Amino acid sequence: MKPTTMFTSTFAALTIATGLAGAAAAQAYPEKPISMIVTWNPGGSTDVLARLLAEPLSKELGTPVAVTNMAGGGGSLGTQAALDAPKDGYTILATTSGNHVLTPLKNDVGYRYDDFEPIGQLVAASIILTVREDSPWQTLDDFIEAAKAEPGKYLFGAVPDVAPHLTLLALTNTAGIDVVHLPQQGGAPGATALLAGDIDLLPANAATVASSIKAGKMRGLAVFSAERDKAFPDIPTAKEQGYEVYGSPFVGLAVAKGVPDDVLETLKAAFDAVAQDPEFQARALKSASELTYLPAAEFGKVWERDWNTYAPMLQK
């Protein structure tokens, strides 16, 4: 064989071998355990969902997924840790509306929603605008008409600067009405205040008001989700009634930008498989809540929508 031919053949063989080695390395992910950071305390709703997800996700990926709680700073401590970790796909973030959108809008924490890549949404809680059962308002339009007729007369209760409060503010901005905010210490105290007649309206997570609605003590005027809540099919969405206002605190998975595309796609595929598995959905419903699954692209749109909705209220 001529030297040139030998060199060409050897070079081609090395090139192929290098390519195969690179492909094998890419396909090897994951080779070690994955850490799932939860930015809130153990035992909370996000922690429960994360631990419920970790086991089947481990099986799908073929490697352990260990939940690590890093609470503090309104969720920013754990979020920043996920952002600072090596961009190799071995650190994923169980992210929520609080740490991902509200905290960075309220405080300079060094990150934005779009510093991350979405993997998928697991849950989106419903926020329902409720009134007492003896309220004269039967529909959202009834309330808005009354509020326009008498600006500043009616009181609503909510914890300041969290999703129910901000969602109601978005409604007042959209509808062009003036209602007065009476701060509450939590969802349960707000429900008590509504039933006692201390406030006229209560925007609250569905779980907070579910028993009162089902007992006929409260009436829902609107749910601020893209679709009606299956647990309350008779309550129309705000959008159905002409007001495109959304408030659905989410829980899902994300990774910092910079993770290789093939690794990101592996994580997305594993999450999608678990989130759409009927057995996992049944377990989630039994021990946590009904899943509101969204794939990565749609989950990313929720981030952008919520950021743009709440930014005018929180960035002052």
On average, the pLDDT of the chain sits at: 90
pLDDT attached to residue 17: 42
Q: Does residue 80 have a pLDDT over 90?
A: yes
Contact 315, 113 (CB under 8 A): no
pLDDT for the residue 79:
98
130 neighbors 124 (Cβ within 8 angstroms): no
CA atoms of 304 and 283, how far apart (whole Å): 30
Burial of 174 (0-12, 13-18, 19+ CB in 10 A): middle
CB neighbour list of residue 50: distance below 8 Å, 6 or more residues apart: 36, 38, 67, 94
Which of 6-10, 43-47, 203-207 comes out lowest in average pLDDT? 6-10
> 281 burial class (0-12, 13-18, 19+ CB within 10 angstroms)?
middle
The total of other beta-carbon atoms located within 10 Å of residue 204's CB is 30
Give the residue with greater pLDDT, 267 vs 74.
267
Residue 290: CB atoms within 10 A of its CB come to 15
Q: Which residues contact 8 (CB under 8 A, 6 or more apart)?
A: none
pLDDT at 103 over 50: yes
Q: How many CA atoms lie within 13 A of 35 on its CB side?
A: 16
**Separation in Å, CA 110 to CA 71, 77, 79, 116:** 17, 11, 10, 13
| Local structure of residue 100 (DSSP, 8 states) | I
Q: Is the pLDDT of residue 130 over 90?
A: yes
- The terminus-to-terminus CA distance of the chain in angstroms comes to 76
Place of tokens 């309206």: 201
Contact partners, residue 192, CB within 8 Å, separation at least 6: none
And the tokens for 124?
Answer: 């989106």
Tokens encoding 105: 């809008």
283-297 residue pLDDT tens: 888 765 678 999 999
- How many angstroms separate the CA atoms of 79 and 251, rounded? 13
Contacts of 181 (CB under 8 A, 6+ apart): 155, 156, 157, 158, 160, 165, 168, 169
User: In this model, does residue 14 exceed pLDDT 50?
Assistant: no
- Provide the pLDDT for residue 289: 63
- Judged by DSSP in three states, 302 sits in helix
Per-residue confidence (pLDDT) for residue 290, from 0 to 100: 73
Name the residue among 205, 249, 223 with its Cα closest to residue 100: 249
Residues 78, 95: Cα–Cα separation, whole Å = 9
Longest alpha-carbon distance in the chain: 97
Residues 302-307 have a mean pLDDT of 95
Could you tell me what percent of the chain has a pLDDT over 90? 73
Q: What are phi and psi of 196, to 5 degrees?
A: -80, -10
- pLDDT (tens digit per residue) in 133-158: 999 999 999 999 999 999 999 999 99
DSSP reduced 3-state for 183? strand
Dist. CA 225–CA 244, nearest whole Å: 9
